[in-house]
Amino acid sequence: MQILLCTLLIFISQCQGFFKNSSLQLNTTTNRYNLTCISNFNDGDLFTNCEYCVYEFFSNGTDSTIYYDCIYLTNSYRRVTQRCTGFSDRSDIGYGLCSKLPFEYFDIDLLCICATDLCNENFTTCRQSVDANPNLPSLSSSIPLLIKESSSITCQDTPVGILNSTYYCVRDSTPYINMTQCEEYVQNHTVLCMYLESNNGNYLTLVALPDEDYEYVLVDQIQFIQKMAVQSNVKQYYNETPNTFYIQWQETLEDNNYTIIYNKCYCMTNDCNVNLTACLQAKTPINKFYRNTSNILLVFILTVFIMMMNFLKLTLNY
């Protein structure tokens, strides 16, 4: 019996996936609310198929900026809302003022997340939507939970954009930042590495993702997989282990009948994105992220079963 239990424990450990739901079908995952949200696009286009709508107002003296966003699949603003008033662990929606990260220098960050169509048109409509749905439960998340205190690593990081800085500071950070301090923050809070290459040599990007950004990037990646799944000129493959998440997509350019192959890999060990082979072979202690609760329950049931069998054996011997 003990041998059976050990075998099952090993099997469970090996079957752990990168995502919490190891059998997650990334190309068919569906949304719960399918909301339409106001976007930042100047041409009037709207976000569609959203879980939540986002309105965020930044003020820095006489200058101000408004962000409109769509939250897809799960609450990728989870880390942000932990620094804000008016949010709780029981619900993803809310509104309130948010504190700054060390490299940010705005005066005001007013965030509102709501869950009705076009509710993020302005702060008033967003607040009214939240007040009308005060008990809306939080979305479950398939994204692994990585925190700086237990998961901090180092990654290769290629500067991007005209600012020649790290991906997060250029692409996903708030509008009022000290770039040098932001780069230092990324170095000290990196929890996930990314590797991206193309077979024609036009793309080679190495990215260090901090705790503030990795959930947003992974959710965006899942959304991209779903979009590519319906493209007739694209074939894609993805695979996950406890330590890596790998995607390959082959895009055929119909004009010249040429196929570009892209490889992207996420991993969770020091400098695992130095090349594709290192990323695919990355090995991480399983406690780097929380295990699937159902697997823990299975282990508990098996343990109780073994104890009962041993007790029964002793009883019969007497």
**CB of 234 closer than 8 Å to CB of 228:** yes
Encode the chain (318 residues) as per-residue pLDDT tens digits. 444 434 433 333 444 678 766 545 665 566 678 899 999 876 678 999 999 999 999 999 889 999 999 999 888 999 999 999 999 989 999 999 999 999 999 999 999 999 999 999 999 999 999 999 988 999 888 787 787 767 789 999 999 888 889 999 998 999 999 999 999 999 999 999 999 998 866 778 999 999 999 999 998 998 888 888 888 899 999 888 888 999 999 999 877 778 999 999 999 999 999 999 999 998 754 444 333 334 444 444 445 544 565 555 555 555
Q: Distance between CA 259 and CA 252 in Å, rounded?
A: 4
HEC string of 213-237 equals CHHHHHHHHHHHHHHHHCCCCEEEE
Q: Shortest CA distance to 21 belongs to which of 71, 73, 59? A: 73
What is the C-alpha radius of gyration for the chain, rounded to an integer number of angstroms? Answer: 23
β-sheet with 52-60: strand ranges across: 63-71, 52-60, 108-114, 94-97
Domain boundaries, the chain: 2-14+293-317, 17-27+144-288, 35-132
Question: Please, which residues have CB within 8 angstroms of residue 128's CB and are 6 or more apart in sequence?
Answer: 119
For residue 73, what are the CA distances in angstroms to 51, 144, 192, 261?
A: 6, 14, 20, 27
DSSP category for residue 105 = -
pTM, whole model, 2 decimals? 0.79
